[in-house]
Amino acid sequence: MEASSSTSSSLRRRAPFRWYCAEKPVLVVSWTADNPGRRFYGCINYWVGRKYKFFQWRDDEICERGKVLILEQRQRIIKLEAEVARCYKREKFYTVALAFLLVICGICLFNLPGSEEFPPIAPLQLLLLCPNLPQALHCLEMPALLLVGSLGSLALFFLGLPGGLLLMGG
């Protein structure tokens, strides 16, 4: 009980008590090498002009080892956030590639011999959709079972997996 009252009174003591403009001070976090993660009160116009230089530390000073640890953890967080962003971009790419492959699969399945509901696609049109895959020209003549295997390797090829090249015969 005594510790909590001393903490709260300590926080009250550090509350800003005087500033030079009509705006209330804001709580800001310092990320300098000398004061990483240390909070301070500053005038909202602190960065605008010399007249508004209200500044008061909110936290106690950090020991040297604490400064090093905070900076290391901040760098680690920045790296992890960058990795998450890369994974998100990769996931978006894979989603688009999968949607593209599903469209190609649908086109090929509806253009199997004996399917008269949709007009057949000319091989040149299919080649324009998949310029890097000459085997796509044979897609119209494949039975459905082989078509699934071919599209699986096509998916591996588009996703950049080495098995796609092996299955495609490249």
Measured CA to CA in angstroms, residue 12 lies from 7, 8, 42, 149 at distances of 9, 6, 16, 71
Residue range 50-76, pLDDT digits in tens: 666 677 778 788 788 888 888 899 899
Averaged confidence pLDDT in the chain: 67
List helix spans (H) across 29-121: 64-110
Of the candidates 15, 4, 9, the one whose C-alpha atom is nearest the C-alpha of residue 57 is: 15
Of the candidates 150, 148, 157, 152, the one whose C-alpha atom is nearest the C-alpha of residue 136 is: 150
Burial class (CB in 10 A: 0-12, 13-18, 19+), 143: exposed
* Least confident residue range of 13-17, 60-64, 78-82: 13-17
How sure is the predictor about 7, in pLDDT bands with cuts at 50, 70 and 90?
Answer: very low
Residue range 85-137, pLDDT digits in tens: 999 999 999 999 888 888 888 777 766 665 555 555 554 455 455 554 545 54
